[in-house]
Structure 1
Amino acid sequence: MKSLYLAGAASLALLLAACGGENSGNEEGAAANERAANGENGGAESGHADEGVVTLDADQIAAAGVQIGRPIIGGAGTIELPAIIEGDPQRTQVVSAAIGGRVVALTRNLGQSVVSGQTIAVIESPEVAQIKGEVEAARARLQLANSNLAREERLFAQRVSPEQDLIAARTAATEARIALKQAQSMVSAAGGGGGGLNRLGIAAPISGQIIARPVTLGQTVAADAELYRIANLSQVSIALNLKAEDAGRVRPGSTVLVTAAGRQATARVTFVSPALDPQTRLVPAIATLDNRGGEWRVGEPVMAAVQLTGSGGSNAIRVPRTAVQSLEGKPVVFVRTPTGFKATQVQLGDASGDTVIVQSGLTGNEQIATTGSFTLKAEIGKGEASHED
């Protein structure tokens, strides 16, 4: 009986000891949880040290549509905009006749080459016959005046004719020469020469290619009507329209990278308008492009990347505008970390089209979120809201 009592007492002691241990462990766990809630994590940093950090793996980054790139070093940036290939205004000329009439010959078709001075059209008109007749009459009068002058010079040398007759003959010859030049200039002003008495040959004023021929053979045209349009396409123009804030950073001589399907070339800015276009409120600009190979066609749409000038120098750090977000009113860029991204505060400089200069905060060697940075900012907002709860 006594042995049964002793065994029961021992069992009770063991049970009480076990209960006491569990209570002690619970108390220690509760204390640890309280310390963690108060930020006392055994000397570790508090939860606020992770502000601005977004934890994402590679798959999550791809799923969020975040693209990663590096800042651009050097230059002041470029702007990309659509543009149109145009003929160089200094190398394009309209061919017309100053006299109306019937078109009896067109010697060149679209796309064919012409040489300056080559006859490319013939106009038939009674008015042509009149001005050509004046040329012939003036030429005949000049021949007669020169003959009289030679005779008077001979008679004066023989002391047969007085000096005043010689002077009169010289004056008449000079006037006849002037009249012939005037008659010939009328033919030239009409567009050219050649052909029959009532026909006027129209000569090409420049060498180049026929890019327009709005008339047809046998058509009656009015004075100054366009017969041909000739362009020297060894050099073409790029018509640009710039925003006012960008136009101030484009100068004559700035480079323009011109891109089309399967082709790329470099042009130079030759003109930036000092005034805005009243309709578009944009600034017209022109760049010239070498086209001796005939790769570019007038009217062709292209993309033009215009180099901007400005502050920053050759070592300037630039990032896309889409990479910059604002946290607590301060600009930040999301820099790639081994576990995701960290919002890094930056100081911004001048904007350069689709990029902006970073004056401080980046070294240029980082990997940054170039697009999708707004998604990262939203993740930080979610984390802060969860922390407040």
Structure 2
Amino acid sequence: MANTLLRTIAMFTGKLDASPPRAWWNANRAVALPVVFGASVLLAFGLGRHSRSPNSTTAQTESAQVSGENRTIALTQQQLRQAGLTLIRPELSTTIERPITGFVEAQVGARAQVGMPVAGQVMRLLVAPGQRVQAGTVLAEVRSPEAAAIRAEADGSAATAQSLEQQYQRALPMARQGALAWHELETRRIASVKASTDARSAQARVRAIGSPTSAGVLQIRSPIAGTVAALDATPGSVLQAGSDLAEITDTSGRELRFMVSPLLAANLRSDQVLRVTAGSQELRARVVAVAPDSASTNRVMIVRAMPVSEALPPAGTAVTAFALVPSSERQFTVPRQAVQLLNGEPVVYRYQRGSAQPVRVVLGPARSDRVEIVQGLQGGEQILSGNTAVLLQGDAPAR
């Protein structure tokens, strides 16, 4: 604009060079030049006021959008029922979700370390690593002199108990007829009872080591169903009592395990349902136990959880659970169906005086079939739920 003004002044002064009033111009240049400059400025300002700028167009467009979002939709009770809409009130939530991290691990009882009950020599191995076995499947045969001695002691105790019981039964009629003193009969009864007790104890030891034969041959069995992960012996190996013979793992038995602080663990209880995410997979898990971790001198709590219905990912997968803990913040939750996107922003439809009006809200974390509303609701209003997608057009559903 400044260049245009200078060209105008130059052209004007050039014309005056050839005109008769040149003397007048030279005499009054100091006054006329500011007047011409001021008139040019006023002209440029007037033209700018009457032109439409891009900013004003954008502002008017945004104003039109806002007025469109705030438009109310008249709806009768009959129209609500026909459109599948229901009136609800936001639920006040006094809890907040806290994320806790953990892993998918083998379930307690899904791994067994099979050891030697007594010292002995491995005669045969009947399984191989990777083989699937059931609970009670014979893994190996072992010959043990110690097992033979335990079986012999059990057989002797059983025979002694049987003999003393028979002596007591024969003496009982004699004591009733007076041929045997009662204190003598009582002595025999006590001896029979003690022998029976010793026999039962010996039989329990026999069963504990696998019920060996009289030659000391016993069978080592799997305590659980699973897969043979490792064999720690070969045929002919001599193993001491307690030495590992095989390892059995059940890959189908998995659980979720988390390590949390005692403060957070105080808000968790058995049978509480947690929302869990494992990558893109989302599932629900039920807390089965909350106990201190002895390895950390009780400074950390262990939380174990089992899936409600969904299948768990492979062992070792990192997962994140969301535990509900008490909160002092006022937050509301509504069904997922009550929230719609209008012009890219989440809204709920508030219903009052026979009209529905979209209200912008700020969403929080989602909890299964409900969504947390962080901002936008007061808590006492009625909002629409159900088939709220029909309201996005801004018109009332057809009767």
TM-score range for the pair, normalised by the shorter chain length: 0.5 to 0.7
Give the match for residue 332 of structure 2.
315
Q: 1:263-282 alignment to 2 at 5 Å?
A: 264-272=282-290, 278=296
CA distance in 2, matches of 1:123, 1:138: 24
CA distance in 1, matches of 2:42, 2:294: 76
CA distance in 1, matches of 2:311, 2:133: 13
CA shift, 1:155, in A, is 3.7
Contact 2:112 2:249 in 1 (8 A): yes
Contact 2:112 2:248 in 1 (8 A): yes
Give the match for residue 8 of structure 1.
20
CA shift, 1:232, in A, is 6.0
Q: How big is each residue's C-alpha offset from its partner over 1:237-293, in whole Å with a ceiling of 9 and x where there is no partner?
A: 323234678666655525041425x755322334445579759x9834323224999
Given candidates 228, 243, 259, the residue that maps to 1:225 is 243
CA distance in 1, matches of 2:100, 2:157: 62
Q: CA 1:277–1:193 in structure 2 vs 1: closer, same or farther (change >3 Å)?
A: closer
Contact 2:116 2:239 in 1 (8 A): no
Q: Is the aligned partner of 1:124 residue 2:137?
A: no
Identity of aligned residues (%): 17
Give the match for residue 66 of structure 1.
none
CA distance in 2, matches of 1:22, 1:277: 93
Q: Which amino acid aligns with 2:320?
A: A
Q: Which amino acid aligns with 1:257?
A: V
Contact 2:292 2:302 in 1 (8 A): no
Q: Is the aligned partner of 1:24 residue 2:38?
A: yes
Give the match for residue 53 of structure 1.
none
Q: CA 1:211–1:171 in structure 2 vs 1: closer, same or farther (change >3 Å)?
A: same
Give the match for residue 77 of structure 1.
97
Q: Which runs of 5+ in 1 are unaligned?
A: 1-6, 33-40, 42-72, 318-334, 337-356, 365-389
Q: How big is each residue's C-alpha offset from its partner over 1:125-148, in whole Å with a ceiling of 9 and x where there is no partner?
A: 111111111011112212222332
Contact 1:269 1:286 in 2 (8 A): yes
CA distance in 2, matches of 1:296, 1:90: 19
CA shift, 1:102, in A, is 1.6
Aligned residues: 273
Q: CA 1:76–1:138 in structure 2 vs 1: closer, same or farther (change >3 Å)?
A: same
CA distance in 2, matches of 1:9, 1:282: 104
Q: Which amino acid aligns with 1:153?
A: L
CA distance in 1, matches of 2:216, 2:140: 14
Q: Which amino acid aligns with 1:236?
A: R
Q: CA 1:274–1:288 in structure 2 vs 1: closer, same or farther (change >3 Å)?
A: closer
Q: Which amino acid aligns with 2:99?
A: I
CA distance in 2, matches of 1:135, 1:184: 5
Q: CA 1:152–1:234 in structure 2 vs 1: closer, same or farther (change >3 Å)?
A: farther
Q: 1:29-40 alignment to 2 at 5 Å?
A: none
Q: 1:217-366 alignment to 2 at 5 Å?
A: 217-218=234-235, 219-230=237-248, 235-242=253-260, 252=270, 253-259=272-278, 264-272=282-290, 278=296, 283-290=300-307, 296-297=313-314, 299-311=315-327, 312=329, 315=332, 362-363=375-376
Give the match for residue 200 of structure 1.
218
Give the match for residue 89 of structure 1.
108
Give the match for residue 359 of structure 2.
none
CA shift, 1:170, in A, is 2.1
CA shift, 1:30, in A, is 11
